[in-house]
């Protein structure tokens, strides 16, 4: 990254390959339901902190701050479908974090502190751990979740793994959707 340039970035927890493949195949099977933009398997993750546009200097400070976080691996599992702002007015569909949400919340708090120390604006929203599955298309509006889709979502595969790292991810926006490129992985 060149001095003076900036990148759009976020910090996240990614899934191991086997779990990513399983969940990705399930999401692909939901593509038959219109009115949603389903997240491709290469973009499935749990966001710890959206950073927005960060400068090369902020990335260097952030890298220093995050390299010293430490921590211990912990078990995570995903379960339960939810929606923003609600199931009666769906704008986004997500899977919740069942096991490990406390540890994930502590990690998000450490990441927040490291981000602010690197010069990022404080995050005004409370951390709500989830994995986004889809966003409603504009033409659909914020309508209730269709019963047939709710039934299919209840069949989501059980996803569990040991979280032993988090990632600084670059996000590049395009007409076909965002693409994500890992910039640095932080093991613990």
- List phi, psi (to 5°) of 72: -125, 150
In the residue annotation, 130 being an active-site residue is answered as yes
* Main-chain dihedrals φ then ψ at residue 78, nearest 5 degrees: -105, 140
- Of the residues 12, 19, 36, 45, which is catalytic? 45
Separation CA 78–CA 158 (nearest Å): 7
Residue 57 pairs with which residues in a beta bridge?
none
Q: Which of 49, 130, 135, 170 is catalytic?
A: 130
Whether 128 sits among the annotated catalytic residues: the reply is no
Where helices occur in 68-172 by DSSP H, the ranges are: 101-117, 147-153
Across the chain, the runs of DSSP E, i.e. the strands, are 6-14, 36-38, 45-55, 74-86, 89-99, 130-136, 159-163, 165-172, 179-187
**Positions marked active-site:** 45, 130
């Amino acid at each position: 990254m060149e001095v003076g340039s900036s990148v759009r970035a976020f910090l996240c927890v990614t899934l191991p390959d086997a779990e990513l493949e399983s969940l990705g195949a399930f999401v692909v099977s939901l593509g038959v339901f219109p009115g949603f933009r389903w997240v491709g398997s290469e973009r499935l993750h749990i966001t710890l902190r959206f950073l927005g546009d960060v400068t090369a200097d902020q990335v260097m400070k952030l890298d220093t701050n995050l390299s010293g976080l430490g921590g211990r691996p912990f078990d995570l599992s995903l379960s339960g479908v939810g929606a923003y702002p609600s199931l009666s007015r769906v704008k986004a569909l997500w899977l919740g974090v069942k096991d490990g949400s406390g540890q994930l919340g502590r990690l998000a708090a450490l990441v927040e502190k490291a981000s602010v120390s690197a010069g990022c604006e404080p995050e005004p929203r409370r951390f709500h751990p989830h994995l986004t599955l889809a966003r409603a298309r504009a033409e659909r509006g914020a309508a209730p979740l269709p019963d047939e889709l709710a039934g299919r979502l209840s069949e989501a595969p059980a996803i569990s793994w040991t979280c032993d790292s988090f990632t600084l991810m670059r996000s590049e926006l395009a007409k076909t959707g965002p693409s994500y490129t890992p910039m640095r992985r932080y093991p613990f």
